[in-house]
Amino acid sequence: MSTAPNSYPSLCSSPPLPRTPNSPLMPISLCKQISTKNVKSLKLSIRVGNSGPGKRSVLIVRASADNGAEEKAEEGENKYEEYEVEIEQPYGLKFVKGRDGATYIDAIAPGGSADKTKMFSVGDKVLATSAVFGTEMWPAAEYGRTMYTIRQRIGPLLMKMEKRYGKMDDAGELTEKEIIRAERNSGIVSGKLREIQMQNYLRKKEQKETRERELREGLQLYKSAKYEEALEKFESVLGSKPELDEASIASYNVACCYSKLNQIQAGISALRDAMQSGYEDFKRIRSDPDLENVRKSEEFEPLMKNFDESFINENALNAIKSLFGFNKK
């Protein structure tokens, strides 16, 4: 069994997933205080891990510029229309778990399959997806189960979506930041600002406690060889806006789970996510028995070469020694 680095316990990687309903928190609607006119896009350039190839991720967060449609949605007219779209890997979508436990679009990668359709918007809710294989559609009732299906999907992914006009269930963090920034720029610290700051603090504290609990629960399930149930816990952590160290640990353990289930493509995907989030115990990755099946993949070594700079440097040094006869006896 593999172990998590530093302050976290061993968190690694059998089947139906438990159906444990989440207890939603009531979001505080603050959207009407901010005008969304002429908002086109907000670009986020996210740097993760060390420098080197394959380690830069750029995502675009798009806000809805259709104020009329948004106002109709608020008033209950034409509320949350649905649409279907089929995409190919790489999907170019980042997902987040809402307070209701459902799956929402958190970011869209430029140039990806989803971006090219021009249909997705940040905040849209996933209602159903293609099954792991075949043409059957599975409802997206729980975040962990939905991610499990998306990662393992064989062939094009058909998604049934609900247009939310940028109104995500996880309480509109961008709107709160805009309110805080506006009040600070005006030099006025009102009671509303203090209230928002306290709400943010309490929410983040609660989210962190929940993530830590789910990591521990995932570990116990993994130790009991309940890999699919452990997957839901680890995926839930990843959907709850984790810090980079939490994301790297959870992703690594997702990769271990998929390796144990012999779901190689999904394991490679999760392992890539782990290293992009900063997981750097490359010796463990190359020796962990829980990743044995993943290491058999033809994609494993090319993936490692994108991240394991020490391994690349060691190979280069050995090549130089060989060239000049230093390795000869």
Q: Where are the domains of the chain?
A: 36-171
Q: What's the mean pLDDT in 231-244?
A: 89
Q: Say if CB 124 and CB 164 are below 8 A apart.
A: yes
Mean pLDDT of the chain: 74
Q: Is 117 exposed, middle or buried (0-12, 13-18, 19+ CB in 10 A)?
A: middle
pLDDT band of 325, cuts 50, 70, 90: low
179 versus 211: which is more confidently predicted? 211
- For the cut 90, the answer to whether the pLDDT of residue 187 exceeds it is no
Query: What percent of the chain has a predicted confidence (pLDDT) above 70?
Result: 61
Q: What's the mean pLDDT in 93-102?
A: 86
Q: What's the mean pLDDT in 143-159?
A: 87
Write out the CATH class of domain 36-171.
Answer: mainly beta
pLDDT band of 188, cuts 50, 70, 90: low
Q: What's the mean pLDDT in 284-307?
A: 94
pTM: 0.59
- For the cut 50, the answer to whether the pLDDT of residue 12 exceeds it is no
Residues 6+ away with beta carbon under 8 Å from 307: 49, 52, 54, 55, 275, 280, 282
Neighbouring C-beta atoms of residue 63, cutoff 10 Å: 18
